[in-house]
Amino acid sequence: MKRWRGLLLTAGLMAAASLPVQALTLQSPVERVNLLELYTSHGCSSCPPADAWLRRLESHPGLWRELIPLAFHVDYWDGLGWPDRFASPAFSQRQRDYRRGGAIRSVYTPGFVLNGREWRQWFYRPELDLNTNERVGTLTLELEAGSGAELRFTPEPHLAKYDFVAHLAILGFGLSSPIGGGENRGRTLDENFVVLSHHKSDAGQGEWRFAWPQFSAAESKRLAVVAWLTRPDSTQQVQAVGGWLP
């Protein structure tokens, strides 16, 4: 039975920016799309190389169809010399939840999570070995002009009985941040895939509806929208879909 989970995305948002949203439909393949998360901070001197590597994935040939990168900026560096303008306590908590669930060994930056599990390969051989063979079902994201987003999942038979939690994120690209203090003082950091807003639903089946979020575009030269599903009892995402906003 399909259940709707409406979200009023108002709490904890950054300064609002009214962006005209055109109608848009995005659909994943049947095979699972890989979700790569980077936990980073403007206050961490080890993070700029990871940010730069992630930024270059904009030209990855499998972007959106095989791979969706996300950069979550954590706030636990903010008191150590320079506050990160993209940081959120919720993103720090997301990383701690991974640690509590056993998906990562410790909380640190830069920290990568690939498909819900710690990915340390970046530190010694930063080459992605993407799994695109697992058939999970199609995830369709429809943006409704000026009103919101609807997410629909058509699962493969082995997943049809399960509930899922839906996630919606807006990503910023072409961002440039001069750093005036802390470990990166004097540097200008260029970044892509920065999570500007992230919200999730209650567990449900089949369909989810999101009100369109208010957020700060933060001088982004380009924006993208991403949605994904997770099981309530697991950190591993089931399917993801994303693409550029017109």
Record the pTM. Answer: 0.91
What is the H or E stretch that residue 51 is in? Answer: helix 47-55
Q: Are 233 and 9 in contact (CB under 8 A)?
A: no
Share of residues in the chain with pLDDT > 70 (%) = 90
In this prediction, residue 214 has a pLDDT band, given cuts at 50, 70 and 90, of: confident
Task: Say whether pLDDT at 17 is over 60.
Answer: no
In this prediction, residue 12 has a pLDDT band, given cuts at 50, 70 and 90, of: very low
Rounded-to-integer distance, Cα 227 and Cα 215, Å: 16
Region 107-116 average pLDDT: 96
Residue 164 tokens read as 């899922």
In this prediction, residue 16 has a pLDDT band, given cuts at 50, 70 and 90, of: very low
In this prediction, residue 145 has a pLDDT band, given cuts at 50, 70 and 90, of: low
Which of 241, 155, 167 is CA-nearest to residue 205? Answer: 155
Share of residues in the chain with pLDDT > 90 (%) = 78
The confidence score (pLDDT) of residue 21 equals: 61
Alpha-carbon torsion (32, 242, 130, 167), positive or negative: negative
Task: Say whether pLDDT at 19 is over 80.
Answer: no
Task: Say whether pLDDT at 67 is over 80.
Answer: yes
The confidence score (pLDDT) of residue 77 equals: 96
Measured CA angle at 244 (ends 75, 156), to 5 deg: 90
Cβ neighbours of 48 (radius 10 Å): 20
pLDDT in tens, 174-209: 999 999 999 999 999 999 999 999 999 999 999 999
The confidence score (pLDDT) of residue 2 equals: 36
Region 148-169 average pLDDT: 96
The confidence score (pLDDT) of residue 3 equals: 36
The confidence score (pLDDT) of residue 171 equals: 97
